[in-house]
Amino acid sequence: MASGTAENSGLRQENDDLYMPFRENGLHGLVRRGWNFSHTPEALLRRLDEPDSHICKDRPKIKAVLAEGYFLKRYNTLGFFNALRRAFRPPRPERALLAAERLRTAGIPTPEVFAALRRSRFGIPRCDYLVTAALAPEECNALELTREMLIDTDYSRIMDGVVAMMVKMHQSGVEHGDLNLRNLFFRRRRDGSGEEWGVIDLDGCRVYSAAVPFKRRRRELARVVSSLLRAAPELKIYSGEVLAAFTERYRALSGCDLQGGALNKRTAYLTERVRKDQLR
C-alpha cells in the first residue's frame, strides 16, 4: 500500500483558490476569500482577551475562546529560542488550514477555517492565530454518545462511524495526531440516512502526499480505542474484544490489517497512562 511523506511546504499554493494573503498591523497569513466578518481580523482577535468570550482553554501556550459564532485560538510563543524555531517552520494555523481543506475535499466534516495568521516583529514570531467556525448545536461531541452507550456497553455505533471516518481520512493522506473522543463529533445526515462523523482540533495534523503510513495509522487507532476505554471504564474488562473489533472493522474497510503486538501494547499503554494521571 502506497504511503507518502509529510508535506511541510506549499501550503499557500495548494489553497490559492480559496484563501488570499493578508498583511496588516504586524499580522500576516491567509484569510478565506469572501469571508464577511463584522470586524477587522485585528478586532476579532481581541475577543480572545475580552471577559464576555467563552473560554474553552487557557494555558500558557494556547488560549481558545468562543465568540460571535467563531472559535478563536491563539498559540503563544514562550521565549526567544522557541520563537526563533517557529520562524523556520510553517505556522501551526496554516498546517491546520491545509489539513482542514484536505478533509473537506475528502468529504469529512470539520469546522471551516476563516483565517490562519501570525503576528511577528522584526521577522520573529510573537504568536499565531486560528479562526474557525464554531460547532453548530446539532453537532454533538462523541463523548455525549459514549455516555448514552454506557447503559448496555454497546460501542458498535461509535465504532462503525469513527472507523469509517478514520479510513477515509487516512486514505486521503491526513493524520490527525490526537484522535480521541474529545476531538470527534457527529451529526445527523440531512437525508436521514444516519450519522456522519467529523474531527476538530487539527493542531497536530500531518498531511501526506499519499496515504498515511502504516505505523502512523496504528498509533491513531490505538489512541481512539484507548480514549473509548477511558471514557467507559466498564469496557476495560472487554478491552481485547473492543480492540479486535475496531481492528477488524478497519481492515474490512481499508484492506490494511493493523493488528499485532505493537497495537496491543500501544493501546494498553495509553489506557493505563491516563488512568494513572487521573489518580494523581
Relative orientation angle of helices 142-149 and 214-231, to the nearest 10 degrees: 50
In this prediction, residue 266 has a pLDDT band, given cuts at 50, 70 and 90, of very high
State the DSSP string of 86-140.
HHTS--HHHHHHHHHHHHHHHT---PPEEEEEEEEETTEEEEEEEEEEPPPTT-E
Q: Which helix (H) or strand (E) holds 272?
A: helix 261-279
Question: Which carries the bigger pLDDT value, residue 266 or residue 7?
Answer: 266
pLDDT, residue 3, reads: 59
Query: Poorest-confidence range of 8-17, 47-56, 207-216?
Result: 8-17
pLDDT in tens, 247-265: 999 999 999 999 999 999 9
Mean pLDDT of 7-19: 60
What's the chain's Rg over C-alpha atoms?
20
Q: What is the pLDDT of residue 42?
A: 86
Q: Which CATH architecture has domain 140-279?
A: Orthogonal Bundle (1.10)
Query: Closest Cα to residue 45, out of 172, 130, 102?
Result: 130
Higher pLDDT, residue 9 or 167: 167
Of the two residues 63 and 7, the one the predictor is more confident about is 63
Mean pLDDT of the chain: 86
What are the boundaries of each domain within the chain?
11-133, 140-279
Mean pLDDT across the stretch 192-213? Answer: 89
- State residue 38's pLDDT score: 64
Least confident range from 155-159, 214-218, 225-229, 266-270: namely 155-159
